[in-house]
Amino acid sequence: MSRNVLTLVLCAAALATACSQPEQTAEAEQAGMNGEPAVEEGGASSCPQADENGVVEIQPGLIAKITKAGYGRAAVSKDYADVHTTLWLYDEAAEGGRGDPIWSSGGVDPFQFQIDAGQVIKGWDLGVTCMLVGEKRELKIAPELGYGDRGKPPVPPNATLLFEIELVKLTAPE
């Protein structure tokens, strides 16, 4: 009989531990911008953390401002990222730095690309890496991480870009 009680107690303890996992995940989600992103084995090991204002300096010439916290695992190289995005030319004098609007994915069908596959500008590959699903951020991208001194019409040469990006889905490569 005591063996059955011991088995029952161990099963209850295992179940209680398993049931507490969603609460821990919810706490991690509530940590939001300053919480550690969930990282799967082999995933992003050194995602820079946002300051108290939600700002992350990813590298010189690339600043992200997290405007909406995400959840789940962090985006890593070779993932397929589905995003909603809008691009403006950065204008320091304009409200929020949003100068002339250039392009928008439309907000209906997401734009999909593979991270680090050379499908987008370097600032995007670097700026979307470490994002969490549901996260929204503004990326301020210097020309050397954008279209450089050649530009790409309608983006003029040496333009600093401002993107608003929302990561709506991540898919690992097969």
Domain ranges in the chain are 2-171
The pTM score is: 0.74
Q: How confident is the model at residue 108, as a pLDDT?
A: 81
Contacts of 24 by beta carbon, 8 Å cutoff, 6+ apart: none
Pairing between β-strand 71-74 and β-strand 98-104 as defined by DSSP bridges = unpaired
Q: What are the backbone dihedrals phi and psi of residue 114, each rounded to the nearest 5 degrees, phi first?
A: -100, 125
Residue 99 has pLDDT above 60, yes or no: yes
Q: Which of helix, strand or coil describes residue 13?
A: helix
Q: How confident is the model at residue 2, as a pLDDT?
A: 47
Q: What are the tens digits of pLDDT across the range 9-67?
A: 333 333 333 333 333 333 333 334 344 444 444 444 589 999 999 999 999 999 999 99
Contacts of 90 by beta carbon, 8 Å cutoff, 6+ apart: 97, 98, 99, 140, 159, 160, 161, 162
From the number of C-beta atoms within 10 Å of its C-beta (0-12, 13-18, 19+), residue 32 rates as: middle
In CATH, which of 1.10.10.10, 3.30.70.100, 3.10.50.40, 2.60.40.10 is domain 2-171?
3.10.50.40
Torsion of CA 20, 26, 27, 32, to 10 degrees: 160
Q: What are the tens digits of pLDDT across the range 129-167?
A: 999 999 999 999 999 999 999 999 999 999 999 999 999
Q: Are 114 and 173 in contact (CB under 8 A)?
A: yes
Determine the Cα–Cα distance for residues 19 and 3; give it in Å rounded to an integer. 24
